C-alpha cells in the first residue's frame, strides 16, 4: 500500500465534481420514488381486490336472499295456500276429452271445497317458508272473484252431456 502526499493545488483538482454527486443523489432519489410508486400501485391493487371481494360477497348474499324468496314463493306449500286463498278448489274429477272420437272420459263434476279426497289447502309442513304470496284488495278483486266463481258454477250446472259427446260450443 502506498500513500502519496500532494500539494494543495493538486488536491483541489482531485476534489469530486458537484455534478457527479448530484447525479448520484438524484439517482438514489429516483430509485426511492420508483420504489414508493410501485409500492403504492401494489397496495392500491390490494385494496381494490379487497373491495371487489367484499362486493362479490355482498352480491352473493343478495343472490341468496332472492333465491330463498323465489324458493319460498314457488314451493308447493305456498302455491297450494295461495290457490286456496284465491278460492281455488282441487277437483279430483278430471275429465279427458278425446277430440278424434268426440268422446268424453269421466264425469264432469264441480269441485267441492269439502268432502274431497284431494285436499285444497296445504297439509305438508314447511318451516322454511319465508316470503309467501299475499293477496290484498289491490291485487285481488274479491267481490268480482265471487261473482266469477258463481258464474262458473252456473255454467257447469247448465252443461248437458249427451251420450258422452262433446257439447257443441254455442259460438260455433
Nearer to other proteins, 22 or 65 (CB): 65
Provide the phi-psi class of 162: left if phi over 0, else alpha when psi is between -120 and 50, else beta.
beta
37 binds other proteins, rule: CB under 8 A:
no
Among 128, 141, 152, 165, binds other proteins (CB under 8 A): 128
Of 64-103, which residues contact other proteins (CB under 8 A)? 64-65, 68, 71-72, 75-77, 80, 92, 94-96, 98
Of 134-163, which residues contact other proteins (CB under 8 A)? none
59 binds other proteins, rule: CB under 8 A:
no
Nearer to other proteins, 42 or 113 (CB): 42
Nearer to other proteins, 86 or 131 (CB): 131
* Residue ranges binding other proteins (CB under 8 A): 1, 3, 42-43, 45-47, 49-50, 58, 61-62, 64-65, 68, 71-72, 75-77, 80, 92, 94-96, 98, 105-107, 117-119, 122-130
Amino acid at each position: 500500500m502506498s500513500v502519496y502526499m500532494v500539494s494543495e493545488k493538486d488536491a483541489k483538482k482531485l476534489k469530486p465534481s458537484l455534478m457527479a454527486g448530484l447525479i448520484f443523489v438524484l439517482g438514489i432519489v429516483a430509485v426511492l420514488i420508483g420504489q414508493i410508486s410501485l409500492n403504492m400501485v401494489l397496495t392500491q391493487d390490494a385494496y381494490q381486490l379487497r373491495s371487489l371481494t367484499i362486493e362479490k360477497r355482498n352480491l352473493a348474499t343478495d343472490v341468496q336472499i332472492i333465491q330463498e324468496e323465489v324458493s319460498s314463493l314457488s314451493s308447493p306449500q305456498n302455491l297450494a295456500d295461495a290457490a286456496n286463498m284465491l278460492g281455488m278448489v282441487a277437483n279430483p274429477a278430471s275429465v279427458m276429452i278425446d277430440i278424434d272420437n268426440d268422446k268424453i272420459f269421466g264425469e264432469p263434476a264441480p269441485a267441492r271445497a269439502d268432502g274431497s279426497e284431494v285436499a285444497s289447502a296445504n297439509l305438508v309442513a314447511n318451516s322454511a317458508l319465508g316470503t309467501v304470496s299475499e293477496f290484498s284488495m289491490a291485487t285481488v278483486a274479491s267481490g268480482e272473484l265471487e261473482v266469477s266463481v258463481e258464474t262458473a258454477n252456473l255454467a257447469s250446472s247448465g252443461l248437458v252431456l249427451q251420450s258422452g259427446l262433446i257439447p257443441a260450443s254455442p259460438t260455433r
